[in-house]
Every structure is written in structure tokens, then in C-alpha cells.
Chain A
């Protein structure tokens, strides 16, 4: 049974870079069948997708965060990571990692990425001096 676990500092100073890692257990991140995403949720608010990565290193980012986000993968450690630069208090949130399956859409003749079927438990990150 695949499980995801986020880790990283719970407190980051304004203007610095937030760095988190998601460790995948019970399955290989290199299987090629999934995209791996980061999603965040400020306290009492909704969910915001940050971006995703494929095992090859191919990425897609939320346009609103693209200039500050880098997602990378380390297949040797079965992990993927998030870096968010120039953080402010607005980046304070619970950060989740999640998995989405890739499937072939026979109607449109292309590959698609499905919904998020497995999530980590989340890690709280506070931006404060």
C-alpha cells in the first residue's frame, strides 16, 4: 500500500526559501504510471494546487506561483521535493503531497492525468520572523 509522507522545516523566515520533501513508501516513484503533486491549504481556507512532476523530471506549475516554485524528483531516494522562494506570510499553510494516475484517453487519443487518489498527511509551514 503506497503511502506519502511530507517532511521539512515547520518555520521559515520571510524572503527565504521553503523546502519540503515527500517520501513515497510501498511503491516506486519510478513506476512511470503517476504524476506527483504538491498542494497547499492555508488555515480555514481552500486547496491550492502548486505543481507536479513526472518521474522523468517533466513539471507543470500553477501559473500564479510558477516564478517562485521548483519541484524536483530523486528516484534513488523515492522522493520528490518542493522549493518555494521569496516566501511571505501568505505562504503559511499546510502543504500536502499527492499522487495522480496517468491514463490513456481513447476518446481524445492522448494521455491524461487523473484525480489525486493518495495524499500525504500534510505538514504545517509557518512563515514568520
Chain B
């Protein structure tokens, strides 16, 4: 199984801040990594796929980078709608999919 970790687990930030979340895989997953945003009581929403490709309709303040085992999600200027929990997910392995434990972004 490929294990995913995220840091930090919680992040306190203000509107307008630049925010970076890190995701690490226990072995190389090439660029097969996605990022999701989840708000309370809602299903996750795809933000980034293939490590750095922006899903249609997602604001350009979201960006992803990385390959191999280390990845980052960056929000260039945090907006009120961005306070949520963010999950990374690997889909390199045809036999299994795993998610990171999540990073909660809350108001400072």
C-alpha cells in the first residue's frame, strides 16, 4: 500500500495570505496525485489532478506542484470561501487508491 501524509494537519491563516500544504507519498507516484477541497457536510471537490493540472472551473489562485514523493498545493491569496479541509489522493497504483489525512485551513 502507498501511504500518504500531509502537513500541517491544521493551518490558521488570514484572508489574502499565501498558503502552502505539503503531501508526501511513501513511494514514488510519478505525478498521479490529486487535491480536493471539502467543506462541512459536503462531498469533496476536485481542485487539481495529475499534480499540477487545474480542474475546469477552479479559480487560478489554486496551484499544484511536485512529482515523485513530494507535492504541494498553494493558494496564492486565501479567500473567505477557501476555509475548508484539503485532501491529497494518489492514484498511481492500479490496485489501490489512498488519501492523505487532510489539512484543515481555518481562520486566524
Contact B99 A96, beta carbon cutoff 8 Å: no
**Interface mask (A20-56 → B, CB under 8 Å = 1, otherwise 0):** 0000000000000000010000000011110010000
Q: Which residues of the partner chain B approach A128 to less than 8 Å between Cβ atoms? A: none
CB-CB contacts of B75-103 with A at 8 A, as 1s and 0s?
Answer: 00000000000010101001111111110
Which chain A residues in 85-120 approach chain B with CB under 8 Å?
Answer: 96, 98, 100, 112-117, 119-120
Q: Contacts A46-B102, A49-B98; is A63 near B1 (CB within 8 Å)?
A: yes
- Given the known interface contacts A46-B100, A47-B99, the answer about A113 and B94 at a Cβ–Cβ threshold of 8 Å is yes
Taking CB as reference atom, which chain B residue is nearest A37? B97
Distance between Cα atoms of A88 and B13 in the complex (Å):
39
B34: Cβ under 8 A from any A Cβ: yes
**Is B44 within 8 A of A119, CB to CB?**
yes
A120 and B49 in contact, given A46-B102, A115-B91 (Cβ under 8 angstroms): no
Point out residues on B near A: beta carbons under 8 Å. Answer: 1, 32, 34, 36, 42-46, 49-50, 55, 87, 89, 91, 94-102
